[in-house]
A and B are shown apart, each in its own frame.
Chain A
């Protein structure tokens, strides 16, 4: 692979690749605002300017500028090289590029930084971007001087509601047009545009429109400053109190790689945001997915129930074992869940199929929804492929088939994972069961009809593996401690097995994974998780 030198370091590049992109791949960050690896090049922020040294024997293009000579009390002519934006300049074999090692680059960046903050309100104490704002970071790294403009700043519209999810502050905006380009190039819905000129420039909505496509929260995510804020997140948390766990989005079968941002002090998840994975979601996530973190806290089932009454976990396990013991395996159904991890499903499958001896395996999940050509999959479950892969010999039957089997009297007892019914019209059949043990994260139709309900931790509270529609097994890591009395599904299954006197002595996730390995098939993909 050809290479060039950046501040003396060899950087390999693909032909046609820009300096900034090649440097990023090599782990060197050239400061930038407007450039984004997933968007077209705008080259407008001028933060990524670098000095490309001329080939040997050639002179650099020099520009005439002025310096003030305090001794002479007069201006003296000065020269400076023409700098180039590294986001636009293609790398060349043997090219010598000075970024952090050039005094001219340092001065240009300092100037850009000062100019970006010139008419900025510097309202960091009330800005949600504070703590993850490039204006702050780069001020420390590249400027560090006090403001030299002491007049009133240029005032522009503030608190402009762009749509159901986003609020815009033009005074904080650096007009990098990342949001404009994102809507146009990724979503193909050019709803944002620039208006006015010069230092009055601002982002505006297309006439008669709202920012209401399916990826509006991404505009806030690509915004490098606090100009666009999410109505869902603003004023809720300070980012320096948050920690991030690499997770997988539970919204659909695409399995977008994400971060769950949570506050460890109160075990609360505040935000879901994309984590780069070029093989899955690139840099993006949809609104549905980004707001899906709410399912960690909303509609949760946090305590065990026996016949509708709250119970301790111990009592409930005892009752559940009572429901299941002595049941004819031919009348017992096992319902796996496309909403739950491979580990949870595998544990239940092992219990029902291998120990209790039933061959009646079903799968439930959320009903189909709308997909789109960008990321959204019509299958709104994160692990349908994983469940299918676990049931190696015969594919699991549907929820509708379960309803029919109950109706026909073939199934009298069920042990189910998850609370979604896949088909709302078929849930009544559950009422006919003689016994129903449900291991569920959320309230739902299955939990409603259950004899015994055992509370399962959500994906945010335990590690788990999910297989997306492309067949990629992806790990999602634990963020917060299990809420309420909940436990990871596989742990509950193991506890239930123990109650039933069965030898399923798993106490660690690693044991489950080891047992599962030959059956899960797919390899686990680890994402890079770099920041754009």
Chain B
């Protein structure tokens, strides 16, 4: 049954191939204009196969295009995702491997049938031509670029999936098919519509290259280790995990990648596994740093039950630039043992993720909104904050505190009136003041105070420490 469909389809396709092209190369007649017309000789060094899943969004929301990509990668290494519902495969090299284009098409089609997915496939020497043919539901297998124009001409314009505006205008002009559009003067089309329209036509006719980015599946490290004896003491866990960390570091080194997240799962005889999540301050693949973080985290762990099995799962891999080879730059430092990310990791592992942070200033007039905590460690140099009239205090109180006791105003006022647009508007007059002790004529703390302009109440907002 299966082979019959394949065969009948193949026969059908050959018939299509043999069809006389109704509008052979209408582009030739178009005068050269903006954008410059590329050489009219089509490039034929590529062969693309497009698969469109017409019911993709409705019927199979649980299967992602990325999953389907993995299926398609058995046929070629270059598979790209075309949103919202198509895949593009570069199959020039695969045709020979699978015997013939028809055979390859049948094999690819069988994959989707097995997954009970409705799919239209089409092959053409250019990316867009294959996509358009597949979208139009023409199961055409074209290898000869010379036949492209003829096949594309018959396609309705809707299969280009251009924006609705463009299609509506074209429709109003009486242009219904690609062929009719190709017959229009090139310069006029470029002027009337976006130049992208002409570019798309060039790409479809294989006169312009349109490289695609290959889909690379996400890789993770995942390894488990059965323990010969159940471990009850946390102290022994570290040695038990060490081989896994070593493997993980090797895995990362081979891929020139680093990770920023790790998860350690400790399985018990009964009950759910204990999950230990580890975060690293910056991407790394260094065994010493991984060991360091794991050891710190484990030392603070209390085991609910003996551990029978340990499993190490990495977060997603990131290309890793920093290698221990640039150690030369670190030799000079006194002590010279650590790097900043290592220090942050060690502190975080023991004190908790949220307890170690940086601060950055934000260009904003309201003092409470002019800064925020940052947890991602970056060594970027902060751009200098806007120049303020008055110096700003080193400490900012979390909430302004109602003022009590006598004060001596020193400098001010600086009016800050902002934020009416988001409902947290303020209208305040800020002063620098210092506390005065009545009994002894001494100056107390230097404060940043403000008077609310509406209520006339005084508040302390900062301390000049």
Whether both chains belong to one complex is answered with: no
